Amino acid sequence: MQSRVILDSTKFALTIERLCHQLIENHGDFSNSCIIGLQPRGVFLSNRIVQRLEILLGGKRPLYGLLDATFHRDDFRRTEKPLVPGKTVIDFPIEGKRVILIDDVFYTGRTVRSGLDALLDFGRPAAIELLVLVDRRYSRHVPISPDYTGKTIDAVMYEKVRVEWTENGGKDEVWIIPFKMVS
């Protein structure tokens, strides 16, 4: 099977714009909400969303942190390569806040599961919501579902979803790639 684009750059930008507006609908001026990007790849999306929200909210930047859940993952000592941790930067209390957790591709749900565990080490939030750019349906290993979704897709197991970012040398696109072609 061929690789194919499922979100081109125009739709990509529109999707992020729509997600931002959905967030504002639910969180207003973000006075009691915060945004947490999941390391490593969710951070590209959360950076974009926070940048855009800052403009939409008239220059007010929502509380924004980065979370690395490596130490809470369930595949430690079970993968060939050791898990290398990323940076966590949460310099505000999340106690009592409404947290929006952000990741790029939602697949088995295991990363988000470890993210939820890691997040609770910082206190007890009022609520946690999940925002993802791509939701791969019917492939969950844990009972978690997103609150905000950029695009829902049906991809089979031997396909991989790749999100490219201009920040990462790509073009703001989402691709479905057959497994063998993934380098």
Binding site for another protein (CB under 8 A): 68, 70-72, 76-89, 117-118, 120-123
Residue 99 CB, shortest distance to another protein, in Å, is 15
Distance CA 154, CA 6 (A): 11
Closest distance of CB 25 from another protein, Å: 31
Q: Which is nearer to another protein, 89 or 181 (CB)?
A: 89
Find the Cα–Cα–Cα–Cα dihedral 12, 13, 15, 16, rounded to 10°: 120
State how far the Cα of 162 lies from the Cα of 176, in Å rounded to an integer.
Answer: 6
CB of 141 to another protein, least distance (A): 18
Q: Least distance from C-beta 92 to another protein, angstroms?
A: 12
| Exposed / middle / buried, residue 110 (Cβ in 10 Å: 0-12, 13-18, 19+) | middle
Min separation Cβ 117 and another protein, Å: 7
Given the complex with another protein, which of 28 and 93 has the nearer CB atom? 93
Q: In terms of CB distance, is 77 or 180 closer to another protein? A: 77
| Closer residue to another protein (CB): 89 or 142 | 89
Contact 137, 151 (CB under 8 A): no
Nearer of residues 2 and 79 to another protein, judged by Cβ: 79
Nearer to another protein, 114 or 149 (CB): 114
> Coil, helix or strand for 152?
strand
Whether 36 contacts 67, CB under 8 Å? yes
Closest-CA residue to 151 (of 106, 100, 84): 106
Rounded distance between C-alpha atoms, residue 54 and residue 35, angstroms: 12
* Nearest-approach distance from CB 87 to another protein, in angstroms: 7
